[in-house]
């Protein structure tokens, strides 16, 4: 089969997933991509851009069997702008890496529900909706229902039962690699704490600072590996970490090279998340694969693939996880348990599931 994949925001997890599908799928793919900048403009302009591209790229003799797009595409608008009927009638799956209703608002942010409603209309227009976690699927449906209930009319025309029925969870997964991790960080050596998230508000790096202070007060010796994407200006939390724990930082930068990034992951003993928001968590999975023990909030998408022993309710409990596994032998055993838990999330397995879902969709009749 031959599928069309439209990814308006070809960067980060969006790019990783699209590339993984093209690389591991047994089917043929045409990949159309946009720049990973100015996400609001991508959502507004990409329908017109990719309608024109698809019109030019469609083959009269061999049209695509189905379409996949990410939730950054305004699907109803794209369908309306295509000039070729066979394109507007393609069976379509939307992959939701995120939606614009569930991000926690930063203190100075103003809510704009237009983008969330665009996500909802795209989901309604699609033949199938794929979400990267159960947390995301359930949260999106709850947020959509909450928004629609507040509207002045046309509430009943939103068929959430049908939307739920055509939705499923397929994780984006992670690319495994051969681990070159050095000998375990044994007794008497300093523990290495890793941060792999974006240094942005929804990941709550301020809470990570508080975790480090609690760890320090508890007398735990630690060093830091600070990865994760940074903005144009350093996050206040990162500045505080440099001021208070500068002598403990082994590495502090965003790494472009995949090999270098993985080499730093392989030096981490504990990967810590303090996020208020996580739709899946590719970076944490990669750290676990590299041998780190996860220390994660007892919520969000982590419930899908991290066992209770690695989840905390309070930062004090997070510190306790580190203390409990300070012994290198117990830590190595725990790391193996965490690694086994995510083994099924390797991208070859995920893409096999994705292929099957697309095959079923392509076989469905889809009339204009």
DSSP one-letter code for 230: -
Q: Are 288 and 312 in contact (CB under 8 A)?
A: no
For 200-245, what is each residue's pLDDT tens digit?
Answer: 999 999 999 999 999 999 999 999 999 999 988 889 999 999 999 9
Which residues fall within 8 angstroms of residue 198, CB to CB, at 6 or more apart? 228, 229, 230
For 2-173+347-362, CATH gives: 3.40.50.2000
Angle of helix 134-149 versus helix 113-125 axis, rounded to 10: 110
φ and ψ at residue 340, rounded to 5 degrees? -65, -35
Residue 61: what pLDDT?
53
Residue 187: what pLDDT?
55
Residue 188: what pLDDT?
58
Q: What is the pTM of this model?
A: 0.92
CATH number 3.40.50.2000 is the correct assignment for the domain at 191-345: yes
Q: Which of 234, 233, 9, 236 is nearest to 100 (CA)?
A: 9
Burial category of 148 from C-beta neighbours within 10 Å (exposed 0-12, middle 13-18, buried 19 and up): middle
Coil vs helix vs strand at 25: coil
Strands (E), the chain: 2-7, 28-33, 66-70, 92-96, 128-131, 167-169, 191-195, 222-226, 249-252, 270-272, 293-297, 311-312
Residue 251: what pLDDT?
97
* Domain assignments of the chain as residue spans, ordered by start: 2-173+347-362, 191-345
Which residue positions in the chain have pLDDT lower than 50?
Answer: 365-368
How far is 26 from 3, CA to CA, in rounded Å?
11
Residue 233: what pLDDT?
85
Residue 47: what pLDDT?
97
The number of residues making up the chain comes to 368
Tokens 């591209």 belong to: 53
Neighbouring C-beta atoms of residue 85, cutoff 10 Å: 8
Residue 366: what pLDDT?
47
Would the CATH topology of 2-173+347-362 be identical to that of 191-345?
yes
Strands of the 28-33 sheet, one edge to the other: 28-33, 2-7, 66-70, 92-96, 128-131, 167-169
Q: Are 134 and 169 in contact (CB under 8 A)?
A: yes
**Measuring CA to CA, how many Å separate 225 from each of 229, 323, 353?**
13, 18, 34
Q: Render 62-125 in DSSP notation, one character per residue.
A: S--SEEEEETTS-HHHHHHH-S-HHHHTS-EEEEES--TTSSPPPTT----HHHHHHHHHHHHH
For residue 340, what are its two tokens? 């086994």
Strands (E), 107-263: 128-131, 167-169, 191-195, 222-226, 249-252
How far is 138 from 105, CA to CA, in rounded Å?
19
């Amino acid at each position: 089969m031959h599928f069309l994949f439209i990814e308006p925001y070809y960067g980060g997890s969006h790019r990783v997933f699209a590339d993984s599908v093209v690389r591991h799928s047994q089917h043929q793919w045409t990949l159309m991509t946009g720049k990973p900048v100015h996400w609001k403009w991508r959502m507004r302009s990409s329908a017109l851009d990719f309608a024109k591209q698809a019109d030019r790229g469609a083959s009269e003799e061999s049209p695509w069997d189905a379409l996949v797009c990410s939730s950054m595409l305004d699907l109803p608008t794209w369908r309306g702008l295509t000039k070729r009927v066979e394109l507007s009638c393609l069976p379509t799956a939307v992959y939701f890496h995120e939606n614009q209703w569930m991000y926690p608002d930063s203190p100075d942010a103003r809510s704009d529900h237009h983008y969330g409603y665009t996500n909802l209309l795209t989901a309604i227009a699609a033949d199938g909706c794929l979400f990267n976690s159960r947390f995301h699927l359930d949260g999106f449906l709850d947020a959509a229902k909450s928004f629609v209930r507040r509207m002045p009319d046309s509430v009943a025309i939103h068929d959430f039962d049908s939307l739920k029925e055509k939705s499923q969870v397929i994780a984006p997964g992670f690319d495994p690699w051969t681990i070159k991790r050095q000998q375990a960080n044994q007794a008497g050596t300093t523990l290495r704490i890793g941060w792999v998230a974006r240094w942005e508000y929804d990941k709550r790096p301020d809470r990570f600072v508080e975790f480090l202070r609690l760890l320090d007060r508890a007398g735990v010796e630690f060093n830091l590996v600070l990865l994760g994407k940074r903005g144009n200006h350093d996050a206040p939390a990162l500045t505080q970490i440099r001021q208070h724990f500068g002598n403990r930082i082994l590495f502090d930068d965003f790494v472009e090279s995949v090999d270098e990034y993985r080499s730093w992951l392989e030096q981490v003993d504990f990967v810590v998340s303090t996020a208020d928001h996580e739709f899946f968590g590719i970076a944490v999975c990669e750290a676990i694969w590299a041998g780190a023990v996860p220390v994660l909030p007892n919520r969000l998408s982590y419930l899908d693939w991290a066992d209770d022993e690695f989840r905390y309710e309070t930062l004090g409990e997070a510190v306790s996880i580190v203390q409990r596994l300070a012994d290198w032998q117990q830590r190595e055993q725990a790391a193996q348990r965490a690694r086994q838990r995510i083994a099924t999330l390797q991208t070859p397995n995920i893409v096999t599931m994705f292929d099957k879902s697309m095959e079923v969709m392509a076989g469905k009749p889809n009339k204009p």
